[in-house]
Structure formats: C-alpha cells, structure tokens
Structure 1
Amino acid sequence: MISDKLRDQTTRFTKEIQGLLNCTIADHVQIKAVALQVGDDRLFMLGHLLDKRTLTAHRFRLRPRAAKVELWMDVSFQLRLDAEREHLMVHKSFFGVFPSQDAKHGLFHYDYERDKADGYPDAHLQVDATSELFSTLNDPRCDTGRSLAQLHFPVGGKRFRPCLEDIIEFLVVERLVLARDGHEKVIEAGREGFRKNQLMAAMRRDRATVEAFVARYGIGSQA
C-alpha cells in the first residue's frame, strides 16, 4: 500500500497546485493524482484530469492576450518520499506551453528529472526557436541539423530550479496571457513556500554548512 504519509502530503500538494493555477492564469483545472508502484518505490503521478489508464495528463487552456489565438499549458509531476521516508519530493516535473491540445512543438518547456541518466542537466529549459548563429556552431561530424530547440539550458539544478510560480509569472509579465486580479500575492506566497522547502532540503543534505553558519553567525541570525 501507499504509505499514509505519502498520500496525505500528495493530497495537500495536489490542492496547492490546483489552487495556484485556478487563482492566477487558468480556469477549472482539476489536478488528479494516481498512485503507482515502481520496483520497490512508491510514487504518485499528478496532472490535469490525469488518465488512470494511460497515465497521461491533459493540457488546459490559458487566456492569451492576443486575439484569436489558442494557448494551452501542460503541467505534470511525479512525487515520492525522500530517502528518509519523511518529506515529499518531486522526482520529475514538466511545465510546457503549446498552441493546441495535442501539438508536439510549442513555445518552451521546463523539465526536471532527478538524477537524469543521459548526461543532460536534471533541471533544464528548452525553447522552440531557431538561431542562425547556432546553426554555424554545430559540429558537422555529429550534430548536423541540430536546432536551438534541442539545447538543454541548465536552470538551477535540483535545489534551485524554477518553480511553477516562476513560469506563471513569466507568462504574465511578458504579456502573453491574462491573469486574475490578485495573482501577484498568490504567486509570491507559493514561491516563498517552495524556496523555504528547498532551503530546508539543502540544509538536511549539507549539515556541515549549517554548522559553519551557526558557528559564524549564531542561532537566530538574520544575516
């Protein structure tokens, strides 16, 4: 069985993501969670109207500022407990923006895959764009025809990667989508929570740095 701790933390996270999207740039998003057993590990997959049979999340509509344009967003997570079986951990995530419900190419997408095995950065950005300069930089012996869209730009690694709030803010401030009144407070509150969680995770994994900080500044320092 999926542990109660994993299920409870996933339920809270599901509500947070659904609330974030519906209070900022989307309408009627329904984040669903499906439990999986992968080898000896247990995890949950999350996404809008996630299909239990195909484990595929549906994209949802955004409201672009430009008239007569469609814009869809794809958001999915894969969650499990950390090594100590205490804290919820994102194993994979995907945030992408596309012109239709089933388009293969879009504007951009952020990917995160913990301990990615193919040599690319765990957290990276890919932009569906072209560059004349980049085309001249390809090594003709191995990279002929490679496009800018195939580059994986590193974005902070597992600890300091962008969060969903950052992507939402980008879409709003670059005047690509319409947002709800008060979206700024929702974004900032969610981002502050994400950053605190990441900081706590970093501290748990680097006790020596925490001890060095306390030794230098003391408990309760505001530095």
Structure 2
Amino acid sequence: MPAASTDAILHINGLCFAYPECPLFQGLDARLPAGTTLVLGADSSGKTSLLRLLAGELVAGAGQLVLKGVPLHASPAAYRAQVFQGDPRSDALSEQVAQDWLAALPARYPQFDAAALVRHIEGFELQEHLHKRFLMLSTGTRRKVWTAGALASGAALTLIDEPVAGLDKPSVQYLQQALAAMATQADRAVVVAHYDALVGVPWQATIALPDR
C-alpha cells in the first residue's frame, strides 16, 4: 500500500465492497499521491471493481473517498467532475467519430491539455483514424483513442483499466513512455490497473490485490 501523505490526491478510508457471496474489499485504506499509481492483481482480483468504486460508479458498502478535498458521499457531482473513467469497448462510443469525441473533452475537463493530445495522437499514430466512428476501429485503435483522451484530460483522478489490451508493441512502448512522464505531475493522480508493473514506469504507489 502507498504510504500516507498529506499531499495525497485521493484519500481512501475504510472502503468496503462485496458482490453477493464474494467479498472484495474490507476496510481498504490508501493515500494515492500525485503521479502514477498501479493497481496490481491477477484476473478476478477486483482491479476493475476498485476503479469503478474510485470513480463513484459502484457504491461502497462502507468507507469514504475524498478527492482533492471533495468527499464522494457529500458532493458526488463535484467529485465525479474531477474523474476521467470509462471503457473504450463501450457501445456508448460506437457511433461517435473519434475526432468529435476528442474535441468534446475540453468542455468536460477544464485542465485539458491540447498540446498533450497532439503528442499522444502522434505517439499512438492515430492521425489516419480520427475521421472514423469508434465502431469502425479495431479494439486496439479504440483503446488508443480513448487513452489519448484520458492522458490529455488533466482530470485530477484518471483511471485506466488494462491499458495494453489490444495494443501493438510500438503503442505499448509509447504508453509506457507517456505514463513515465505522468509520474512527475504534481496535481493529478493517474491510476492504472494491470497484472504487471509495465516496464519503465516509475510508480509512485502500488495497491497490490490478493488473488481470489
């Protein structure tokens, strides 16, 4: 678990959650700092569920989440406004044109970094795909478009689940470089759920989930 820090972006206090007959978290405490945090675990360890809890998408049985001083339980809209989270495979994206989806993000995220988006589009080699609807994109390309938007969003809490699924080797290498650069950011936490540590990424904190 990450060490406690008065500068933590996200405070996780006594988080409890269970599916019917399947307890996942019992009194989870963590302080996620600025930079990069790895949620490490095997399949079915609860990685995706934890990210959905941190996003306020799942409701915890007990505990509190406080993001940059905003408690989820007291101010859910203000809390969620600081979070970038989603699933690039979602049918909700299918009919959207990639460049239109990206162009709409600055209105949702005040700290959106347009220059960073240009870098990520180049790094993931997305230029020829931006005019296409998501449903026309391969699994890997959908993920690259979504990840480019996530990294450029500037959201205080950016949640990325299984980041390399469907990616080709050059894209994995670029993602590792982009995440390494994120490690030095002072005002946002990028939380990545994966089954290994991703070579070259200096994680500021790690939450290791036990096998189930």
TM range (shorter): under 0.3
Tell me the TM-score normalised to structure 2 length: 0.25
Tell me the TM-score normalised to structure 1 length: 0.25
Highest RCO, 1 vs 2 (Cα 8 Å, sep ≥ 6): 2
